[in-house]
């Protein structure tokens, strides 16, 4: 049975480079909601003849991965604790299907030693490392001690669990000095992680981190260490077999992060020289060997500006960003994991591991990048087209048009990977991929991704984990339009408007239509973009619009397919792909241009001149009302009507996508009314609290 | 005509004489006076209120240079209360009338001029409106009214009332002959409200338009209620509470541009076919999202608009009454370029049940489509009629019958898709095969039954111990499309993603459908 989707794309990417994979067809893990867990039922010992089975929860029954699998087993309802984290249900599924091996995917039970142990007890192969390694590396405190012993560079810090007691807290802080990083001992993926610059923040960070850690990992132990300011996050992929052999598969740079979660990753890193790369690789391998590691794993390092590197943690599973390593090394990591699990020796030697070309991965999230670089959004993907027909582009996703992005899981839509011969080539392909990616129905972070990959600092490789807050100190505001951009955008909007106008006058088979309107070839339009008004003259002949904007002529031509989500245009001879999100009869057009969505109002000169008489509708005063910035669950309400709150005081906490977000007062005032209760589910824009 | 005479006057010297010159001057003067209506001061006041003038509105609504004005020289004939004085006469009086083009297609329009006597309706004003309505019916073109009037011209007394009645009669005569649209752009009070009420569609402008029988002052004196104009008869009230208006727009400009767009959905008259525009959306497009839309649990809601937007051309759906009786969705869209009327139960609101308001909303829309040759596509997910004293006392029986009546008498192409529940009498009502549905489909998730499993089991297996088992048996038997399909009550069970393709193909076939009801003076719909 063949398994489509992600893996097929790997083959395509490789096909281009002549590195066609061996005949193996296997199941890969498609991340996001549904397929965090695949159960592989090995029917035949030969590679390539798998029977695959997906464990899914109720809410994702008919989705893509289920179709990809030969068999699907429902393991419970949407909340993860009842489905993907419900070990009993999953063990039942394994027994029921007679699965002989389990690939745990990422997240959920992938690094759960108990799960690995129970599988072992039932004689089912766990496609991953031994329980011992999971346990050793899963605990941040223990892993640090082991790393130290294995002569791996580690970050100075307090080696032990910090209890929720003032004494410890102060002791740590005295020892290290601010800033410090508070982390969940069992954590990963940025969850349960807070940076503190003062005693107050330390206290608050403790509270949040322990709550988050408890809800995400069921373990609220925390540790604290020196926070390395402005570091790069560079990780080494390792591969080790059960015979004591280990390899490093070069690095991935994952410095572009928001709230300690990765956004853009690349392999290789622009920052490492061969000597540093080798030093890091060798330390990573020595750590893997120290814990008798087998399977694929990742050793994460923080690298400071002087190329000093410090061990951060080891992830004993496949990483989300593994495709970029696959691109540059030509190795199929899932295949390697299965081989290793079967007990085979590694096929490659260290000197066989190449760096071929450059690969970049963008994590496409369902979140609003204009709110602290990404607050989760939910919705139904009303339209969804992946840019898979572009060459050198791979999209790993577990969703399709019509899928619901729910509050129960990480808000990731897909991993978008561009692979090229050089970094510049890969970046160009990524640009095109982002421009051609159609996502409607949920807010997504393509505007931010598109800006990051063209930012001069990113292009120059001058990045750190603080890239986003440094580059956008006042928050992300979308693509800043240059004068030339503005002209192009206005011309495209005007041409689109006229194309739509002309079409609305074309009736088929109707005798009673006056031809006068259609003979028109010249229009005067008034366009409003970002509060500035422009007068445009448009003339049209055979699909080409000549638009005069601010005294300059812009030629726009295209197919003008008004039903298509993509709007491929030739603007002054250069090819641009825009997307038209909405087009209202009153002339409001939303265009996605260079990743960012711009609202343009296109009116005839007459309509524009009459619009000045229209009354201004005052927007709601938002300082006295608190609305939920995203859909989620209310986990705590700190105020009641009549309380007085100060600016910045916490009013309530909303948990969404497993992150807790503190909602604070925008002004000092008395609480007028509270519209939410602990445990309640709220939607984006729902009224939470009103102040007087 | 006038323009033509004028050019001959100017260019043919033989016509030149002193008296002609003075007539020429008077023509020019009257024309100038007509164009400024109540004068610059009142125009400024109109603008200050956030409203456009009658002529500005026509300019925006009609294609450039297409408007031909009638009766610019008509003046009121009132001789009482000093009205006969020259300064009280305005050429054209308080309304601008004529015909023009919207996207090249003919439309008649009247636009009440609030700057002249507050847009009040005089005998002359009414006569002007009647003239264009008569002509519109003769040539077969829609009539659009832009209402902005303080009410009757009190100085004229019964003449004004007669004028209203003349218009009402024509509204009634034109009903079902040409589409009639009212756009309320200012006050519309007293008897004046009945003209919009008789037309097919009433739209309003938010914050600047009001519709009521009596204003807040009279309400206060009669019932002692304190109510603002906005609460009593504003756009929100009529689009969400009373159901008098079909939709509201942000402001004058927004309303008029939207009206142009809306006009493109309508045929010009009952003798014209539904318009077909150039379409870029492939008619055989699959909609994969629909395969996963209907949730497994039959108690879980989904949004009917997701189905509608997915299926119609370019996701372009002009919803009628989006804020009223939201348990049913009605509106216009296109399938392969051709206008269709869409009716769908909305599971998201009150489980999509039929109640008084939704039945009346649906019935009126279906009758409009039937009158104007617009095919009707019905999406069914209905658990039944809403039970309860409020509904029974309100007359759900006779109101529900309206929707049944409308679907049954409609002879336009009727395509029905049962997406999930089709329970009880509501199944019959929703354009079922039995009411002459032309093509009736069921999705695999369809359940056609007398009622839901729980209720049915309590009746069929009354007293039986193992209710859960009985329920499972009932679900197995009825909660699927087969009982209806084996009897031919649905023509096919289709994969949801193919729905657009199927409907487009059916519409092509049904375009030549001919069906007539028995001769009658008119039917007696249970009003």
B486 Cβ contact partners less than 8 Å away, ≥ 6 residues apart: none
Report the 3 state secondary structure along B331-398: EEEEECCEEEEEEEECCCCHHHCECHHHHHHHHHHHHHHHHCCCCEEEEEEECCECCCHHHHHHCHHH
* SS3 category, A291: coil
**pLDDT tens readout for residues A133-154:** 888 888 777 888 899 899 999 8
Min mean pLDDT across A405-409, A612-616, A622-626 is at A405-409
Using the Cβ of B97 and the Cβ atoms of chain A, whether some distance falls under 8 Å is answered with no
- Residue A559 clears pLDDT 50, i.e. is over it: yes
Q: Which residues of B are annotated as catalytic?
A: 190-191, 425-426
Q: Are A691 and A668 in contact (CB under 8 A)?
A: no
Higher pLDDT, A52 or B301: B301
Identify the band that residue A158 occupies on the pLDDT scale cut at 50, 70 and 90.
Answer: low
When CB atoms are compared, the residue of B253, B277, B291 closest to A607 is B253
Res. B244: pLDDT tops 60? yes
Q: Which residues contact B176 (CB under 8 A, 6 or more apart)?
A: B270, B371, B372
**Smallest CA–CA separation between B307 and chain A, in Å?**
10
Indicate the burial class of A508 (C-beta count within 10 angstroms; 0-12, 13-18, 19 or more): exposed
**pLDDT at residue B3, as a whole number:** 45
Kindly state whether B444 is in contact with chain A, defined as any CB-CB distance less than 8 angstroms. no
What's the pLDDT score for residue A224? 78
H or E element at residue A541: strand A532-541
Q: Are A161 and A222 in contact (CB under 8 A)?
A: yes
Return the pLDDT at A518: 65
Q: Would an 8 Å CB–CB cutoff place A518 in contact with chain B?
A: yes
- Residue A557: the pLDDT is 94
Half-sphere CA count of B150, side-chain side, radius 13 A: 12
How distant is the Cα of B99 from the closest Cα of chain A, in angstroms?
13
**pLDDT tens digit sequence for A533-546:** 999 999 998 879 99
pLDDT at B455: 79
Q: Between the CA atoms of A205, A211, A216 and A220, what dihedral angle is there, to the nearest 10 degrees?
A: 90
Chain B residue at shortest CA distance from A505: B103
Q: What is the 3-state secondary structure (H, E, C) of A639-671?
A: CCCCCEECCCCEEEEEEECCEEEEEECCCCEEE
Average pLDDT over residues A187-196: 70
B109-133 confidence digits (pLDDT tens): 999 999 999 999 999 999 999 999 9
Calculate the alpha carbon distances from A300 to A138, A280, B428, B447 in Å. 13, 10, 65, 54
pLDDT at A37: 34
DSSP SS3 for B186: coil
H-helix or E-strand spanning residue A674: strand A669-674
Helices A140-149 and A274-290, axial angle in degrees (round to 10): 110
Q: Does A610 contact B275 at a Cβ distance shorter than 8 Å? A: no
More confident residue, A474 or A196: A474
Calpha distance A557→A572 (Å, rounded): 8
A99 and A27 Cβ atoms separated by less than 8 Å: no
Query: How far is it, in rounded angstroms, from Cα A208 to Cα A662?
Result: 9
Put simply, whether B230 touches A (Cβ < 8 Å) is: no
Residue B97 reports pLDDT greater than 70? yes
Give the confidence band of A472 by pLDDT, cuts at 50, 70, 90. Answer: very high
Predicted confidence (pLDDT) at residue A57 exceeds the cutoff of 80: no
The vertex-B300 CA angle with B297 and B302, nearest 5°, equals 120
The residue ranking higher by pLDDT, A318 or B40, is B40
Higher pLDDT, A40 or A128: A128
Read off the pLDDT of each residue in A189-206 and give the average, rounded to a whole number. Answer: 75
**A379 phi, psi to nearest 5 deg:** 155, -175
Residues A105, A38: Cα–Cα separation, whole Å: 7
Residue A408 — pLDDT band, cuts 50, 70, 90?
A: low
CB contact under 8 A, B253 and A400: no
Residue B311's pLDDT is what?
A: 97
pLDDT of residue A91: 77
> Rounded to an integer, what distance in angstroms lies between the CA atom of residue A373 and that of residue A364?
12
Give the residue, B318 or A25, on which the prediction is more confident.
B318
Q: What is the pLDDT of residues A450-470, one digit of tens each?
A: 999 999 999 999 999 999 999
- What are B417's strand-pairing partners? B379, B441
CB A78 within 8 A of CB A57: yes
A115 vs B46, residue with greater confidence: B46
Separation between Cα atoms, residue B496 and residue B481, nearest integer Å: 13
> Which of A175-189, A306-320, B428-442 has maximum average pLDDT?
B428-442
pLDDT category at B298 given cuts 50, 70, 90 is confident
DSSP B121: B
Quote the mean pLDDT of chain B: 92
Mean pLDDT, all residues of chain A: 80
Chain A residues whose CB is inside 8 A of the B337 CB are 508
Distance set, CA A305 to CA A237, A453, B487 (Å)? 22, 21, 77
In this predicted structure, the answer to whether residue A618 has a pLDDT above a threshold of 80 is no
Dihedral (C-alpha) B97, A602, B203, B51: value to the nearest 10 degrees?
-60
Strands B187-189 and B210-212: parallel
Which pLDDT does position A629 carry in this prediction? Answer: 75
Does A12 have pLDDT greater than 50?
no
Q: Does A564 touch chain B (CB under 8 A)?
A: yes
**Considering only CA atoms, which of B269, B193, B496, B240 is closest in space to residue B349?**
B240
Structure confidence at residue A556 (pLDDT): 95
Closest CB from A63, A564, A614 relative to B253: A614
How far is the C-alpha of A91 from the C-alpha of A99, rounded, in Å?
10
User: Per-residue pLDDT averaged across A18-34, rounded?
Assistant: 29
Q: What value does the mean pLDDT take over residues A390-396?
A: 89
8 Å CB contact between A432 and A390 = yes
Gap between the Cα atoms of A238 and A350, Å rounded: 11
The conformation of residue A237, written as its DSSP 8-state character, comes to E
* Test mutation, B104, B139, B275, chain A, max A CBs within 10 A: B104
Question: Could you say which residues from 390 to 419 on chain A have a Cβ atom under 8 Å away from some Cβ of chain B?
Answer: 400-403
Identify the bridge partners of residue A180 per DSSP, sorted by sequence position.
Answer: A196, A226
How confident is the model at residue A103, as a pLDDT? 74
pLDDT digits over B223-237, tens only? 999 999 999 999 999
pLDDT over threshold 80, residue A10: no
Q: Where are the alpha helices (DSSP H) in B62-109?
A: none
Residues of A in contact with B306 (CB under 8 A): 380, 382
As annotated, the active-site residues of A are 317
Nearest to A382 among B252, B277, B289 (CB): B289
Chain mean position to CA B335: 19
Three-state DSSP state, A574: strand
| Chain A nearest C-alpha distance from B296 (Å) | 9
Q: What is the DSSP letter of A154?
A: B
CA dihedral B311, B317, B323, B325 (to 10 degrees): -50
* C-alpha gyration radius of chain A: 27
Chain A residues whose CB is inside 8 A of the B66 CB are: 514, 516-517
Q: Mark yes or no for CB contact A587/B290 under 8 Å.
A: no
Q: Which one, of B266, B63, B60, lies nearest residue B146 by Cα?
A: B60
Query: Is there a contact between B253 and A611 if contact means CB atoms under 8 Å apart?
Result: yes
CA B105 vs CA A510, B1, B108, B275: distances in Å: 9, 22, 10, 11
User: What pLDDT sits at residue A136?
Assistant: 86
Phi, psi of A174 (to 5 degrees): -60, -40
Q: Where are the alpha helices (DSSP H) in B194-244?
A: 194-198, 216-223, 229-233, 235-236
* Mean pLDDT within A321-331: 90
CA distances from B350 to A182, B83, B292, B380 (A): 48, 56, 22, 14
What pLDDT, on a 0 to 100 scale, did the predictor assign at position B48?
94
Is pLDDT of A613 > 80? yes
Higher pLDDT, B438 or B191: B438
Confidence of residue A227 (pLDDT cuts 50, 70, 90): confident
The pLDDT of residue B140 is above 90: yes
Q: pLDDT value at position A657?
A: 58
**HSE-up (13 A, CA, CB side) for residue A560:** 21
User: Looking at residue A489, what is its pLDDT?
Assistant: 96
Which residues, at least 6 apart from A629, have a Cβ–Cβ distance to it below 8 Å? A368, A371, A375, A654, A661, A663, A684
The reported pLDDT for the residue numbered A673 is 86
| DSSP conformation class of A513 | B
Q: How many CB pairs under 8 A join A and B?
A: 130
* Cα-based distances in Å from A506 to A272, B142, B336: 61, 19, 14
Does the beta-carbon distance from A503 to B277 stay under 8 Å? Answer: yes
pLDDT average, residue stretch A517-532: 86
Bridging pattern class, strands A261-267 and A358-365? antiparallel
Burial class (CB in 10 A: 0-12, 13-18, 19+), A385: middle
Name the residue with higher pLDDT: A240 or A223: A240
Chain A residue with the nearest C-alpha to that of B140: A512
pLDDT band at A102 (very low <50, low <70, confident <90, very high): confident
Indicate if the pLDDT at residue A27 is higher than 80.
no
Compute the distance between CA of residue B249 and CA of residue B253 in angstroms, rounded to an integer.
9
For A622, counting Cβ atoms within 10 Å of its Cβ (0-12 exposed, 13-18 middle, 19+ buried), the class is exposed
Select the residue of B60, B103, B289 nearest A401 (Cβ to Cβ): B289
Candidates A400, A506, A517; nearest CB to B278: A506
- Looking at the predicted structure, is the pLDDT value of residue B1 above 60? no
Q: Does A505 touch chain B (CB under 8 A)?
A: yes
CA distance between the termini of chain B: 46
The predicted pLDDT at position A177 comes to: 67
Which pLDDT value is given to residue A38? 35
Q: Inspect the interface and report whether the beta carbons of A614 and B306 lie closer than 8 Å.
A: no
Q: Which of A381, A513, A610 sits opposite B105 (nearest CB)?
A: A513
Q: Which residues make Cβ contacts (< 8 Å) with residue B469, sequence separation at least 6?
A: none
User: pLDDT tier at A70 (50, 70, 90 boundaries)?
Assistant: low
Cα(A322)–Cα(B390) distance, integer angstroms: 62
Q: What is the DSSP letter of B85?
A: S
pLDDT at position B243 is: 95
Residues in chain A within 8 Å Cβ distance of B60: 606-607, 610
Residues 316-355 of B with CB under 8 A from A: 337
CA atoms within 13 A on the CB side of B508: 10
In this predicted structure, the answer to whether residue A590 has a pLDDT above a threshold of 90 is yes
> Which residues, in sequence order, are bridge partners of residue B210?
B187
pLDDT band at A20 (very low <50, low <70, confident <90, very high): very low
Q: Which of A403, A516, A607 sits opposite B60 (nearest CB)?
A: A607
| Minimal Cβ distance to B288: which of A400, A518, A587 | A400
Is residue B166 within 8 angstroms of chain A, CB to CB? no
Give the range among A35-39, B182-186, B426-430 with minimum mean pLDDT. Answer: A35-39
Q: Does A517 contact B103 at a Cβ distance shorter than 8 Å?
A: yes
What percent of chain A lies above the pLDDT cut of 70? 80
Complex confidence, ipTM: 0.92
pLDDT of residue A134: 85
Banded pLDDT at A49 (limits 50, 70, 90):
very low
Three-class DSSP category at B36: helix
Tell me whether residues A607 and B260 touch, CB distance under 8 A: no
**Structure confidence at residue B356 as a pLDDT band (50, 70, 90):** very high
Q: In the structure, what pLDDT confidence band is assigned to residue A663 with cuts at 50, 70 and 90?
A: confident
Q: How far apart are CA A233 and CA A651, in angstroms?
A: 34
Shortest Cα distance, chain B CAs vs residue A672, angstroms = 25
B296 shares contact with chain A (CB less than 8 Å): yes
- In this prediction, residues B182-210 reach a mean pLDDT of 94
pTM for the model: 0.84
Contact A562 B280 (CB under 8 A): yes
Residue A96: is its pLDDT beyond 80? no
Contact B145/B181 with Cβ under 8 angstroms?
yes
Q: Does pLDDT of A680 surpass 60?
A: yes
Which residues in chain A touch residue B277, judged by CB atoms under 8 angstroms apart?
503-504, 506-508
pLDDT for residue A161: 64
Q: Give the chain A residue whose CA is nearest to the CA of B57.
A: A610
């Amino acid at each position: 049975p063949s398994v489509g989707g992600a893996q097929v794309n790997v083959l395509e990417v490789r096909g281009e480079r002549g590195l066609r994979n061996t005949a193996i067809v296997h199941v890969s893990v498609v991340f996001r909601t549904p397929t965090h867990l695949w159960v592989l039922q090995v029917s035949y010992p030969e590679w390539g003849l798998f029977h695959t089975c997906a464990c899914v929860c109720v809410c994702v029954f008919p989705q893509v991965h289920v179709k990809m699998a030969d068999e699907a087993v429902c393991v419970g309802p949407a909340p993860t604790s009842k489905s993907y984290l419900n070990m009993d249900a999953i063990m039942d599924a394994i027994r029921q299907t007679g699965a002989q091996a389990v690939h745990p995917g990422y997240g959920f039970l992938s690094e759960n030693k108990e799960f690995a142990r129970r599988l072992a007890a039932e004689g089912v192969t766990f496609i991953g490392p031994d329980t011992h390694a999971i346990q050793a590396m899963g605990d941040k405190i223990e892993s640090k001690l082991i790393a130290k012993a294995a002569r791996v560079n580690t970050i100075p810090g307090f080696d032990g669990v910090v209890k929720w007691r003032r004494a410890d807290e102060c002791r740590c802080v005295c020892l290290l000095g601010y800033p410090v990083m508070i982390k969940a001992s069992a954590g990963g993926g940025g969850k349960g992680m807070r940076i503190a610059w003062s005693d107050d923040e330390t206290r608050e960070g403790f509270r949040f981190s322990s709550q988050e850690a408890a809800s995400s990992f069921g373990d609220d132990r925390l540790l604290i260490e020196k926070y390395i300011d402005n570091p790069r996050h560079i990780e080494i992929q390792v591969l080790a077999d059960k015979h004591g052999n280990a390899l490093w598969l070069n690095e991935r740079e994952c410095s572009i992060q928001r709230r300690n979660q990765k956004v853009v990753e690349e392999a290789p890193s622009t920052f490492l020289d061969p000597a540093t790369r080798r030093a890091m690789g060798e330390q990573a391998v020595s750590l893997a060997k120290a814990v008798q590691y087998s399977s694929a794993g990742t050793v994460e390092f923080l690298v400071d500006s002087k190329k000093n590197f410090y061990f951060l943690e080891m992830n004993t599973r496949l990483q989300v960003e593994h495709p970029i390593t696959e691109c540059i090394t030509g190795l199929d990591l899932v295949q390697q994991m299965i081989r290793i699990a079967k007990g085979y020796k590694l096929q490659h030697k260290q000197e066989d591991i190449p760096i071929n070309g450059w690969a970049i991965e963008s994590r496409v999230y369902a979140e609003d990048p204009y709110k602290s670089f990404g607050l989760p959004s939910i919705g139904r993907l009303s339209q969804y087209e992946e840019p898979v027909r572009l060459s050198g582009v791979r999209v790993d996703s577990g969703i399709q048009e019509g899928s619901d992005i729910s509050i129960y899981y990480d808000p990731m839509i897909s991993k978008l990977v561009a692979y090229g011969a050089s970094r510049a080539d890969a970046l160009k392909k990524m640009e095109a991929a982002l421009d051609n990616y159609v996502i409607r129905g949920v807010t997504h972070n393509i505007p931010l991704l598109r800006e990051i990959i063209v930012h001069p600092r990113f292009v120059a490789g001058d990045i750190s984990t603080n890239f986003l807050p440094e580059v956008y100190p006042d928050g992300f505001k979308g693509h800043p339009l240059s004068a030339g951009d503005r002209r192009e955008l206005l011309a495209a909007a005007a041409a689109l408007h006229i194309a739509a106008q002309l079409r609305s006058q074309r009736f088929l088979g109707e005798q009673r239509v006056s031809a006068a309107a259609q003979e028109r070839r010249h229009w005067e339009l008034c366009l409003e973009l970002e509060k500035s008004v422009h007068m445009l003259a448009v003339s049209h002949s055979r699909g080409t619009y000549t638009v005069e904007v601010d005294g300059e002529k812009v030629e726009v031509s295209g197919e003008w397919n008004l039903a298509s989500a993509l709007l491929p245009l030739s603007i002054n001879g250069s090819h641009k792909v825009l997307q038209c999100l909405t087009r209202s009869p009153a002339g409001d057009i939303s265009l996605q241009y260079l990743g960012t969505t711009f609202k343009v109002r296109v009116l005839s000169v007459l309509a524009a001149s009459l619009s000045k008489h229209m009354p201004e509708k005052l927007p709601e005063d938002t300082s006295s009302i608190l609305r939920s910035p995203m859909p989620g669950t209310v986990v705590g309400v700190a105020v009641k009507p009549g309380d007085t709150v100060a600016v910045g005081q916490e009013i309530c906490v909303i948990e969404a996508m497993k992150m807790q977000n503190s909602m604070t007062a925008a002004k000092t005032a008395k609480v007028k009314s509270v519209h939410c209760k602990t445990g309640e589910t709220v939607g984006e824009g729902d009224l939470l609290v009103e102040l007087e | 005509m006038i323009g033509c005479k004028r050019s001959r006057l100017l260019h043919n010297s033989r016509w030149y004489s002193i008296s002609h010159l003075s007539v020429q001057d008077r023509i020019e003067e009257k024309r100038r006076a007509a164009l400024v209506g109540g004068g610059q001061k009142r125009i400024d006041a109109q603008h200050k209120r956030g409203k456009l003038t009658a002529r500005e509105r026509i300019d925006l609504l009609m294609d450039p240079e297409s408007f031909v004005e009638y009766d610019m020289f008509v003046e009121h004939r009132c001789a009482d209360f000093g009205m006969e004085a020259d300064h009280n006469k305005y050429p054209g009086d308080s309304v601008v009338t004529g015909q023009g083009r919207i996207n090249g297609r003919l439309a008649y329009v009247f636009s009440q001029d609030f700057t002249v006597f507050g847009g009040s309706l005089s005998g002359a004003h009414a006569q002007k409106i009647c003239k264009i309505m008569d002509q519109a019916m003769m040539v077969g073109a829609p009539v659009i009214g832009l209402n902005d009037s303080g009410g009757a011209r009190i100085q004229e007394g019964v003449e004004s009332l007669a004028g209203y009645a003349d218009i009402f009669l024509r509204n009634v005569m034109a009903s079902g002959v040409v589409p009639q649209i009212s756009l309320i752009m200012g006050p519309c009070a007293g008897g004046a409200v009945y003209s919009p009420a008789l037309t097919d569609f009433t739209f309003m402008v938010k914050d600047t338009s009001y519709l009521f029988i009596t204003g807040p002052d009279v309400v206060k004196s009669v019932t002692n209620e304190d109510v603002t104009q906005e609460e009593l008869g504003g756009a929100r009230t009529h689009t969400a509470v009373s159901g008098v208006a079909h939709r509201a727009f942000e402001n004058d400009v927004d309303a008029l541009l939207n009206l142009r767009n809306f006009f493109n959905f309508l045929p010009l008259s009952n003798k014209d076919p539904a318009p077909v525009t150039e379409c870029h959306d492939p008619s055989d497009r699959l909609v994969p999202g629909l395969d996963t839309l209907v949730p497994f649990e039959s108690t879980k809601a989904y949004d009917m608009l997701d189905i509608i937007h997915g299926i119609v051309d370019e996701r372009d759906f002009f919803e009628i009454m989006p804020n009223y009786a939201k348990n049913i969705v009605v509106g216009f869209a296109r399938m392969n370029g051709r206008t269709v009327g869409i009716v769908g139960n909305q599971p998201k609101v009150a489980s999509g049940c039929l109640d008084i308001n939704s039945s009346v909303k649906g019935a009126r829309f279906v009758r409009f489509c039937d009158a104007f040759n617009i095919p009707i596509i019905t999406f069914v997910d209905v658990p039944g009629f809403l039970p309860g004293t409020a509904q029974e006392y309100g007359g759900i029986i006779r109101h529900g019958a309206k929707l049944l009546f409308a679907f049954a008498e409609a002879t336009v192409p009727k395509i029905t898709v049962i997406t999930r529940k089709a329970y009880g009498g509501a199944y019959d009502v929703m354009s079922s095969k039995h009411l002459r549905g032309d093509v009736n489909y069921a999705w695999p998730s369809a359940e056609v039954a007398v009622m839901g499993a729980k209720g049915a089991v309590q009746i069929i297996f009354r007293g039986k111990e193992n209710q859960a088992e009985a329920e499972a048996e009932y679900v197995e038997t009825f909660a699927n499309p087969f009982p209806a399909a084996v009897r031919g009550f649905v023509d096919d069970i289709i994969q949801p993603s193919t729905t657009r393709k199927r409907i487009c193909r059916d519409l092509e076939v049904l375009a030549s459908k001919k069906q007539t009801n028995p001769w009658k003076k008119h039917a007696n719909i249970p009003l």
